[in-house]
Amino acid sequence: MNHKITDVLAEEVRDSRGNPTLRASVVVGDVVGSFSVPSGASTGRMEALELRDDDGAHMLKAIANVVGPIKNNLMGMNVVDQGAIDRAMIELDKTAQKSNLGGNAMIGVSVAVACAGAKVSDLDLFEYLRTHRAIKPSRDVPFLFSNLINGGKHAKSHLAFQEFMVVPNVAKASEALGMLVK
């Protein structure tokens, strides 16, 4: 079934540290999939560019790319054709680090597309992602990751590391949650 994209939206929101980031939304009829892009405090030199305004305090450039060229290229595309949508954005940007459109704009729209695709398919997002050939699940239930200790730029503790995470290797989410609580 063809579920055509009817609108692509973006707005500036705040991340967990109060910094500006972008929320992208993809509309398919009366269904909306949205995603707020995480904004990393620590970034590597090979990461996609997070496009910010010159003042560093706003996302108007990235938002303009979402509601302008990205939207113009994706309108009418089938929301469940994730590969074609991602390729269309990559071809439109034409840079390795996504510096024309902004990695934050492209990632936001890509994940919003997946969220909308899951909704029109009446599936949870993790189940929907399994329907794509390129994604091969390694288990029936996703791992639960828990951040136990924050350091680095995420905390005032002055710890030398950014985060300490625990991932229980169990088959049931309820069992994993119990382990994390303990």
Return per-residue pLDDT of the chain as tens, 182 residues. Answer: 789 999 999 999 998 778 899 999 999 999 999 999 987 665 667 778 888 888 878 999 999 999 999 999 999 999 999 999 999 999 999 999 999 999 999 999 999 999 999 999 999 998 898 888 776 666 777 788 888 888 877 677 778 877 888 999 998 889 998 998 88
Specify the length of the chain in residues. Answer: 182
* Other Cβ atoms closer than 10 A to 93: 22
Fold of 7-130: Enolase-like; domain 1 (3.30.390)
Q: Where do the structural domains in the chain lie, given as residue ranges?
A: 7-130, 146-181
Question: For every residue of 62-113, which 3-state class applies, written as one string?
Answer: HHHHHHHHHHHHHCCCECCCHHHHHHHHHHHHCCCCCCCCCHHHHHHHHHHH
Residue 77's Cβ-count burial label (10 Å; 0-12, 13-18, 19+) is: middle
CA dist 16 to 109, 110, 162, Å?
Answer: 20, 21, 15
Nearest Cα to Cα of residue 87 among 9, 59, 77: 77
**What residues does 20 pair with on adjacent strands?**
14
